[in-house]
Structures are given as structure tokens and as C-alpha cells.
């Protein structure tokens, strides 16, 4: 093999490796949010647990566990007074930030916006934030 052919082959392989890495890095994440961080998650499928006697008492207050957030949206201690959402942007998989003062989410990567129910308010995201089931029993909130 001549030197020119060798260098051409090495260059072509390098381009394919870099292009493959770029595609993998920019691909949409399909991972499911995990509740394995501190904050009430356990092995029974509970992602967040909260004692409503001392937590989540004000409308707009939130509790986060890993990539899951639960937010109080109404006064009563019933499941419909809370919303639990994934913090993973549906556009490219970045973690969105919750702004309690505006009760909205903003993705720092590409600017997608969501309201407190997870509905898209500003693209490029087209799908809402995934939601989780909230239950309330004996003033204990559970997200699963």
C-alpha cells in the first residue's frame, strides 16, 4: 500500500468515527427517568414520597427526586392538587429547570418551554413532559 492510499484510508475512517460519535451524541434519549436518588424513592416503584404535614404546603412548591418532580398546584391534600412530571426535555433529553415564580419549565439546551402541567409552551419540543401517577393517603403523597 502506498503512503497516499494509507493516509486516505485513515482519514476516511476518522471521518466515519467522528460522524458516528456526533450522531450518537445528538440522538434523542429514550431512557426512563429513575427514582434511585435520595428523596423518598425505593425499590417498590415509589419515585417520590412526601409528608404533606410538613412538605409541599404552598401552591407552586416542589420536591425533586432525580429526574422526577412533584408540584403542588392546588390547596387540598388530594391527588388532583399535585402534578408529577419528568424533568427530561422531550426534544433532546436535557434536564429542564423549574421556575417556581412563573410555575413553568425551561430547557437550557434549546429553549423549549413547558407549563406546570408539562404542556409545551415554546418549541422546539413537540411532546409534553411525561407525567407520573400521584396518590395521597393519610397526608402522605406518593409518586409512582
pLDDT at 46: 87
pLDDT level of residue 24 (50, 70, 90 thresholds): very low
122 and 51, same structural domain?
Answer: yes
Q: Are residues 79 and 22 in the same domain?
A: no
The grid cell for 53 is 404535614
Q: Is residue 18 over pLDDT 80?
A: no
* Closest alpha carbon to 64 in 46, 37, 32, 104: 37
Give the CATH number for residue 125: 2.102.10.10
What does pLDDT average to over the chain? 80
- Cell numbers at 48, concatenated: 417520590
Instruction: Show the cell assigned to 41.
Output: 424513592
Query: Which domain covers residue 84, as residue numbers?
Result: 31-143
Q: Are residues 17 and 42 in the same domain?
A: no
Residues 4, 42 within the same domain: no
Give the C-alpha separation, 110 to 126, whole Å: 12
Task: Please tell me whether residues 104 and 137 are part of one structural domain.
Answer: yes
State the average pLDDT over residues 14-37.
42
User: Residue 69 belongs to what H/E stretch?
Assistant: strand 68-72
Q: Based on the fold, state whether residues 80 and 106 are members of the same structural domain.
A: yes
For the chain, how many helices (H) and strands (E)?
1, 11
Same domain as 122, residue 80: yes
Question: Do 49 and 102 belong together in one domain?
Answer: yes
pLDDT of residue 13: 55
Q: For residue 45, what pLDDT is reported?
A: 85
24 and 36 housed in the same domain: no
Chain-centre distance for alpha carbon 58: 22
Number of domains the chain is built from: 2
Q: Are residues 4 and 37 in the same domain?
A: no
Residues 36, 10 within the same domain: no
Q: pLDDT value at position 34?
A: 36
pLDDT band at 5; cut points 50, 70, 90: low
Which residue would you say has higher pLDDT here, 113 or 3? 113
Find the Cα–Cα–Cα–Cα dihedral 110, 84, 60, 124, rounded to 10°: 20
pLDDT over 90, % of the chain: 66
Cell of 81: 392538587
CA distance 22 to 128: 26
The reported pTM is 0.68
Give the pLDDT confidence of 28-85 residue by residue, as tens digits: 443 333 333 333 344 458 899 999 999 999 999 999 999 999 999 999 999 999 999 9
Instruction: Find how far residue 80's CA is from the centre of its chain.
Output: 21
Amino acid at each position: 500500500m502506498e503512503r497516499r492510499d494509507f493516509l486516505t484510508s485513515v482519514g476516511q475512517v476518522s471521518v466515519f468515527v467522528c460522524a458516528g460519535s456526533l450522531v450518537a451524541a445528538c440522538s434523542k434519549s429514550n431512557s426512563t427517568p429513575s427514582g434511585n436518588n435520595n428523596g423518598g424513592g425505593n425499590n417498590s416503584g415509589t419515585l417520590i414520597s412526601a409528608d404533606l404535614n410538613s412538605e409541599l404546603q404552598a401552591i407552586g412548591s416542589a420536591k425533586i427526586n432525580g429526574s422526577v418532580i412533584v408540584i403542588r398546584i392546588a390547596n387540598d391534600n388530594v391527588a388532583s392538587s399535585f402534578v408529577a412530571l419528568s424533568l427530561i426535555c422531550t426534544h433532546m433529553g436535557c434536564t429542564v429547570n423549574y421556575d417556581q415564580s412563573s410555575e413553568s419549565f425551561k430547557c437550557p439546551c434549546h429553549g423549549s418551554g413547558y407549563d406546570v402541567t408539562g404542556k409545551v409552551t415554546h418549541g422546539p419540543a413537540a411532546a409534553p413532559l411525561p407525567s407520573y401517577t400521584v396518590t395521597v393517603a393519610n397526608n402522605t403523597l406518593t409518586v409512582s
